[in-house]
Structure 1
Amino acid sequence: MKGDHFLISTLAILAFATFLASAYDPSPLQDFCVAVKDIKSGLQNPRNTKNPVGSNVTAVNVDNLEGLNTLGISLARIDFAPNGLNPPHTHPRATEILLVLEGTLYVGFVTSNGDGNRLFTKVLNKGDVFVFPIGLIHFQLNVGHVNAVAFAGLSSQNPGVITIANAVFGSKPPINPDVLTKAFQVDNKVVDYLQKQFWYDNN
């Protein structure tokens, strides 16, 4: 009887200790990291949008602000010329929330194949926000007649970015044209033309 009481008490203590050990948010690898470099993010300054896509992304992530290490967040400023486009792209490691500071943007994302590649879009004005789920292809287009500015918060210190056209048609070395001809179901001359284009990187 005494042994049973001891066993039950021990199991209760272990269960309680396990509960305490898992009853808090996981902590980062370190409490904080004080950046020592004199980095000027320049997010207050507009960027040059005179390029083929008419936009410019200024990222603030762990690569240029060490203080973000282990915090799971990053930021970007996106400047748009009239009709400027932040081309279809994806962030493999982060969800993005976009806030329009100036102008009018047409934004959208496409769901995965299993969800039927459904397109969700919205026209955003100053003060509006929109969320792009992690890993999904998304874009922003300035549909106004003046410059536009947006800020994006991302749920990773290093969200990564894959611009679809650049990756598919501008890879080095190029993807075999037979692969792209079959994948896009177009003539090989179209693929050849697209692979010879200069694919501008606005990041």
Structure 2
Amino acid sequence: MKNDGEFYLQHALAAYFPLRILKEMSSKLILLSVVALTFSYLALAYEPSSLQDFCVADPNSSVKVNGLTCKNPMQVQADDFFFSGLHLRGNTSNQLGSKVTPVFATQLPGLNTLGISMVRIDYAPWGLNAPHTHPRATEILTVLEGTLQVGFVTSNPDNRFITKVLQKGDVFVFPVGLVHFQRNVGNGYAVVIAALSSQNPGAITIGNAVFGANPAIPADILAKAFQVDKSVVDQLQAKF
């Protein structure tokens, strides 16, 4: 017959091992849950995959959704997937000397839900596509003509400036959300074609957003932010 010590030891071990196993399982479940939530967040950070062959945008629909509603598939035609015009030079007769010709879902309805778009950008000699961001897209471009200086700035706190001069046939990528620009550094015209990872990438031009906001950002806020006199801010806001 077992003594009291052996009896309590056996019961203690029997209670310990299941509890230990349960704790290990709980830890693994917590880890798996964290991983699952992380990947779920990443999946939600990009445009959802289409659940059908296509969803041609219906510009006449009054329904407001995050994107554009679908046209009746039986009414879809080849022209819904077609755009003509990127062979034409954009009008660069403006203060910056550049012109962006977009091909988004609004110009090419067949792009709706496909998560991609493109633009043609023309630059007069020394023309500039001013510093801006695309809040919803990565951008990759290739130079068709001319010589361009391109660059982007990394996020805080480093704010590292990464820049390169591109020639015809070169390719460069701008990570999503980062401030970037292109400038023609040649004496002739320059042209690029760029692809973006959203049907509606959005564009925030830094100067316009900061100094041309509507209604205007109070000048004293900008003066403190940029560490300049308020009169300097007034002059800049007057230009936008």
TM-score (structure 1 length as normaliser): 0.81
Q: Structure 1 residues 187, 27: closer, same or farther in 2, change over 3 A?
A: closer
The structure that has the greater radius of gyration is 2
String of CA shifts for 1:108-148, please: whole Å, max 9, x gaps.
0000004x000000000000000000000000000000000
Shift of 1:29: 3.6
Out of 137, 143, 164, the residue aligned to residue 185 of structure 2 is 143
**Superposed CA RMSD:** 1.7
1:131 match: 173
CA distance in 1, matches of 2:218, 2:196: 34
**2:121 — aligned with what?**
78
* Count of residue pairs brought into register by the alignment: 173
Identify the structure with bigger relative contact order (alpha carbons < 8 Å, sequence gap 6+).
Answer: 1
Structure 2 residue 221 is matched with structure 1 residue 179: yes
Equivalent residue, structure 1, for 2:103: 60
Q: Does 1:157 align with 2:179?
A: no
Q: Which residue of 2 aligns with 1:90?
A: 133
Equivalent residue for 1:109? 152
Partner of residue 45, structure 1: 88
Find the counterpart in structure 2 of residue 31 from structure 1: 53
**Once the 2 structures are TM-superposed, how far is the Cα of residue 72 of structure 1 from its aligned partner?**
0.6
- Kindly indicate whether the alpha-carbon contact (under 8 Å) linking 2:101 and 2:119 is maintained by their aligned counterparts in 1: yes
Following TM superposition, by how much is the alpha carbon of 1:30 offset from its aligned partner in structure 2, in angstroms?
Answer: 2.8
Name the structure where strand makes up a greater proportion of residues.
Answer: 1
Question: Any stretches of 5+ residues in structure 2 without a counterpart?
Answer: 1-42, 57-75
Alpha-carbon deviation of 1:64? 1.5
Query: SS at the partner of 2:182?
Result: strand
Tell me the equivalent position of 1:21: none
Point out where structure 1 has 5 or more consecutive residues left out of the alignment. 1-24
Q: Which has the higher helix share?
A: 2
Give the counterpart letter for 2:177 in structure 1.
Answer: G
Quote the Cα distance in structure 2 between the aligned partners of 1:166 and 1:30: 39
SS at the partner of 2:126? Answer: coil
2:236 corresponds to 1:194: yes
SS in structure 2 of the partner of residue 167 of structure 1: helix
Q: CA deviation at 1:27?
A: 3.8
Percent identity over paired residues: 67
Amino acid at match of 2:205: T
- 1:54 and 1:84 in contact (8 A); partners too: yes
Distance 2:111 2:202 in 1: 15
Q: Is the 1:41–1:60 Cα contact (8 Å) retained in structure 2?
A: no
